[in-house]
Amino acid sequence: MQYLRTYNNGKKEPIMTIQSMKRRQFLQLSAFSAGFHYSGASAETNQEKNPSLLQPIRGSWFEFQHCWAHESGYWDAACAAFSCEQWKQKIHEIAELGMKYLVLLSVAQDGKTFYSSKLFPSWPLNCPDPLDAVLTAADEVHLKFFISGGFFDEKIGVLAGAEGTKKRLQAMQELVERYGQHESFYGWYWPNEASLNPYFEDNFIRYCNETSAEARRLTPHAKILIAPYGTRKTVNDDHFARQLDNLNVDIIAYQDEVGVRKTRVEELDAIFARLRNIHDRVPRVALWADMEIFDFEGDTYKSNLIPAPFSRIQNQLAAISPHVDTILVYQYQGMMNKPGSSAFAGHPDSTKLYDDYRNWLKKSY
């Protein structure tokens, strides 16, 4: 399917979907859309420099405290001790790598908020309002935040019952009242992740659409993002297409599940090609990737997260890039740190991953 692009002079021309592009056409578009953020070079110049140019990382998940303490031993304590100024420095650090989006995993956890709330008690962090600190810094560097709609009274899972729904929607209104003036408040993220098996569960669709309806009322221009797992199980059929069409969201960033050891890198091309096909049937919903740049230090889900080798991450980028509109990662925090950062939080090898990615970025763009 093709759509029309309208220019300022009134001229119109068709837009090809990424699926319909030849490989070279895709690479040229990737260079145009990303290259100027880093070197100012034209798409043609970047293409000549690196004929295998792929999409860069355009954003990351972000958190104040990780929801599973046994995975975050390398950064939770440091983040809890951050001053408000250090939170701002972390945002500037991320923006220096050319990232455009941050997805806030949660604004609350275990019934306590990461901001000053009238509805819930607050987390005892060194910075009394880290949410305001990061949004203020994001305003300065033109980063766009997707603000989480949880977790308030739950650790994980969809809030059930009328009282839980009421609290969740009240908290969203409070967030808009307190932080809606920030230019960086770009959109919303629903953190109760959907499991695709191979379809969305009806309960998730109800939760998602109910929450999205309130978000549309409060912030009519905000974008809404979800990030389901079970990506390898997805199917390209009429039922899944109808589910996509019925979801009141703008963007779906599918977890590639390489870090959690459910999917092999060599499977990604076919998986995301299938997703491209199904999303081209429902072009209203953008197709993004939630690419995992971590590994586990020991057993899966039972040990600390550590940075993956950049050689693996390059292969993930190569497999996913031709099929998606934007690549986000889980996550910069803990896995990457600028050497010498005064807001260091993460594994010691995080500076190496930062340098490896930065050097690749400079060479490619």
* Average pLDDT of the segment spanning 95-105: 97
Statement: residue 66 has pLDDT above 50: yes
Q: Which helix (H) or strand (E) holds 188?
A: strand 185-189
Fill in the DSSP letter of residue 19: G
Percent of the chain residues topping a pLDDT of 90: 77
> Is residue 174 a contact partner of residue 118, using CB atoms and an 8 Å limit?
yes
Lowest mean pLDDT among 26-35, 239-248, 250-259: 26-35
pLDDT value, residue 153: 67
pLDDT value, residue 284: 97
Cβ-count burial 168-191 (b if 16+ within 10 Å, e if not)? bbbbbebbbebbeebebbbbbbbb
Amino acid in position 231: T
* Average pLDDT of the segment spanning 281-305: 98
* Average pLDDT of the segment spanning 295-321: 98
Q: Measured between alpha carbons, how far is 225 from 208 in angstroms, rounded to an integer?
A: 10
Amino acid in position 52: S
Statement: residue 175 has pLDDT above 80: yes
Domain boundaries of the chain, sorted by first residue: 23-53, 57-364
Beta pairing, strands 12-15 & 3-6: antiparallel
The CATH fold of domain 57-364: TIM Barrel (3.20.20)
**pTM metric for this prediction:** 0.85
Closest-CA residue to 211 (of 242, 190, 233, 229) = 190
- Average pLDDT along the chain: 86
Q: Measured between alpha carbons, how far is 32 from 42 in angstroms, rounded to an integer?
A: 7
Statement: residue 342 has pLDDT above 50: yes
The pLDDT tens digits for 128-155 are 999 999 999 999 999 999 999 988 865 4
